[in-house]
Amino acid sequence: METKFKRIMTTGFIVSLFIGLGACAKDSSNSEESGFENILEVGADGTTILHQAKLGYALSENLSFSETELDILLHMKEEEKLARDVYTALYEKWGIRIFSNISRAEYNHMNAVIMLLQNYGEEYTWEGEPGKFSNSAFQELYGQLTAKGFESLEEAYKTGALIEDMDIKDLKESIDKVANENIKMVFENLLKGSRNHLRAFNRQIVKIGLTYSPVYITQEEFDQIINSPNETGNGSQQNGNGRKGKRNRNGW
C-alpha cells in the first residue's frame, strides 16, 4: 500500500499527507455500514472541513486533466483562497470566531484543489501571499469584499454569505464542465461545504434581524438551502487498493 501511495503522491505537500493516509487505512475497519469513510466533517457552527487524508485515499490515479479542466482548477484554487483571505481579514477586524473557523476550513478546501494539481508543479500549486492574487478579477474583488466587510459586523456577515453564494454558483457550473471523476468528487464535496457555510452566515444574519438576498443563485435555491439541515456525506468506499471504490447513494 505504501508503494502505491508514493507513486500517486509525489510532492512535498503530499508526502506530509501520506502520514495521515496510513492512519486512515488503519481506521477503515471502524467505518459505519459497508466501510464508507466520511470525507466531510461539519462543526456545530456549520464549519465544514474536507479531510484531505481520506480524500487522498479516495482519489483515483487519473490526475491528468484537459486544458479546460486545468483552467477551472486554477480558477477554483484562487476562489477558495479569496474566501480564506477575506475571512481572515474579517476575523482580524471583528474578532468573531465564525470568520476564523470558516477561514481555516477554506484553507483546507484550497489545499484539496492543490492536491489535484500536484503533478503540474509549483507554478500551479503555489498559493501566494494573503490578499494577493494572480487573477486580476479576484484581486479587485478582494479589495471590494474586505472594504464592504469592514463597514460593520452586519455587512461582514453579508459579505460571507455573498462569497458562499458565488462559490455555489461557480462550483455547480464547473462540475457540469469537467469530465474527470476526481475533480467532480472534490468539487461536489466543496459544494456541500459552501452550502453549509452559507447556512452558517445566514443564521448570524437572521439573529441580528436582517435578511440576505442571493446575488448569484436563485431565491428558490437559496431558500431550499437555508431551510435544510447541514450536509454531511460519505466518501468513496475503501476497497483496500488505495483507489476510489464505489460511490455511495448520495452520488459521490
**183: Cβ contacts below 8 Å, ≥ 6 apart:** 65, 69, 72, 73, 116, 174
High-pLDDT (> 90) share of the chain, %: 68
CA distances from 9 to 13, 60, 63, 239 (A): 9, 11, 10, 18
Q: pLDDT class for 234, splitting at 50, 70, 90?
A: low
Residue 30, pLDDT above cutoff 90: no
pTM listed for this prediction: 0.80
Q: What is the mean pLDDT of the chain?
A: 83
What's the pLDDT score for residue 81?
A: 98
What's the pLDDT score for residue 56?
A: 85
Q: Are 114 and 224 in contact (CB under 8 A)?
A: no
Q: pLDDT class for 26, splitting at 50, 70, 90?
A: very low
197 against 9, higher pLDDT: 197
Mean pLDDT over 100-108 rounds to 96
Instruction: Give the gyration radius of the chain's Cα atoms.
Output: 18
What's the pLDDT score for residue 233?
A: 61
> At 34, phi and psi to the nearest 5?
70, 15
Mean pLDDT over 132-139 rounds to 95
Closest CA to 127 of 101, 106, 99: 106
Q: Are 138 and 79 in contact (CB under 8 A)?
A: yes
Cell representation of residue 177: 464542465
Block residue for cell numbers 447513494: 249
251: left (phi over 0), alpha (psi -120 to 50) or beta: left
CA distance 204 to 213: 14
Residue 144, pLDDT above cutoff 50: yes
Cell representation of residue 228: 435544510
Highest mean pLDDT among 10-14, 48-52, 156-160, 230-234: 156-160
Residue 14, pLDDT above cutoff 80: no
Residue 23, pLDDT above cutoff 60: no
Give the relative orientation of helices 97-116 and 67-94 as an angle to the nearest 10 degrees.
Answer: 160
Residue 82, pLDDT above cutoff 60: yes
What's the pLDDT score for residue 32?
A: 36
What's the pLDDT score for residue 212?
A: 98
Q: Which neighbouring-strand residues pair with 48?
A: 42
What's the pLDDT score for residue 17?
A: 41
Closest CA to 110 of 64, 49, 172, 63: 49
Mean pLDDT over 107-120 rounds to 95
Q: pLDDT class for 52, splitting at 50, 70, 90?
A: confident
Q: Are 233 and 48 in contact (CB under 8 A)?
A: no
CA distance 129 to 165: 24
Give the relative orientation of helices 181-207 and 219-226 as an angle to the nearest 10 degrees.
Answer: 80
239 against 42, higher pLDDT: 42
High-pLDDT (> 70) share of the chain, %: 77
Distance spanning both ends of the chain, measured CA to CA: 23
Residue 107, pLDDT above cutoff 90: yes
**Into which CATH architecture does domain 66-231 fall?**
Up-down Bundle (1.20)
